[in-house]
Amino acid sequence: MTRIAYVFPGQGAQKVGMGREWAERSAAARRTFEEADAALGEPLTQLCWEGPEEELGLTANTQPAILTASVAVLRGLEEEAAEQGWDVAPAAVAGHSLGEYSALVAAGALDFAEAVVLVRRRGELMQRAVPAGVGAMAAILAMSAEDVAAVVDAVAAGAATGADRGEVVAVANYNAPGQTVIAGHAGAVERACELARQRGARKATRLDVSAPFHSPLMAPAREGMAPHLAAAALADPRVPVVVNVDAAPVTGAEAARDALVRQIDGPVRWVESVEHMERAMGVGLFLEVGPGTVLTGMIKRIVGDARTLALGEPRNLDKLRELLAAG
């Protein structure tokens, strides 16, 4: 029997209309949106399905919206599997950044309604941590992660003594081979991009994001989020959760809580996380549970022969049936 992992997307996967087709198909998915509206006391469902896109893209809205759409897909999938008699129980779950909250919900470690409120607060704190325009993120393409780290170190060393003293830049996301994201002060990020180009990167370009996520500049958000996570009711996960900051599974509530705190200003070690699931945990099929196909693309670059399927739209259930039949 093929071992399955559920992977959940993070910020950037949002799109107007996400989750609507699942809600039209599945009563469990529809109830998920209703539960989110009740937890937040506002019509998040309307924002997810009708926009406007600009409002959906605000970090404080994006985070609960993606969580809700992802859990709606999860519950719709579980409902479909029960009706069809499919065994799609995961051997592991993981989420990219924000997606780690969805993974913990899937593992039974975190109540969904509480998760929605937590990620709303997380988004607010991350947005407020750095004034608009002060921070930036950039994607460095066709350069090894080691070479990107060397670029970052070189820029940081210059910032220790130059006129830009005190500016920071760090690796934020190890997304896939040849795709690494950096974050920090806008000036330091720009200098790192220029140096990366000089050293052979095919492309080094600023990302259209509102804050330098997963960098040391997020320390105020981590500190602000810590008491909320300390008060949250977490249970031991029913299945291992491979966490971003360590690229290793956690099976206890306190370890999961600690990882959620540290991931705010720590890097997303996605390459290592996927490699661990494939090599150490024997995962042979990765199901992307949530909107979009970003993680599916990354996983194919990390594990060339990986079997993957994005389930953001219920029409892909036919493909899932075929994959399960193939064993």
Residue type, 279: R
Closest CA to 140 of 167, 172, 176, 178: 178
Q: For tokens 């919206």, what's the residue?
A: 65
Specify the pTM: 0.96
Residue predicted with more confidence, 162 or 303: 303
Residue 97 appears among annotated catalytic residues = yes
Mean pLDDT of 41-52: 98
Q: Per residue in 123-180, pLDDT tens?
A: 999 999 999 889 999 999 999 999 999 999 999 887 655 556 689 999 999 999 999 9
Mean pLDDT of 49-75: 97
Q: How far apart are CA 217 and CA 53, in angstroms?
A: 27
What share of the chain has pLDDT > 70, as a percent?
98
DSSP 8-state code for residue 234 = B
Per-residue pLDDT at 104: 98
Of 96, 214, 273, 276, the catalytic one is 214
Q: Per residue in 92-119, pLDDT tens?
A: 999 999 999 999 999 999 999 999 999 9
Mean pLDDT of 185-207: 96
Per-residue pLDDT at 157: 85
| Confidence check: pLDDT of 2 > 80 | yes
Q: 3-state SS of the chain: helix, strand, coil percent to 5? A: 50, 15, 30
Of 26, 70, 96, 97, the catalytic one is 97
Listing DSSP states for 181-194 in one string gives EEEEEHHHHHHHHH
Residue 273 appears among annotated catalytic residues = no
Per-residue pLDDT at 160: 54
Arithmetic mean of pLDDT over the chain: 96
3-state class of 93 per DSSP? strand
Instruction: List, in order of start, the domains of the chain with CATH numbers.
Output: 3-129+217-326 (3.40.366.10), 135-209 (3.30.70.250)
Per-residue pLDDT at 159: 64
Closest CA to 98 of 70, 63, 69: 63
User: Which phi and psi (to 5°) does residue 226 adopt?
Assistant: -55, -45
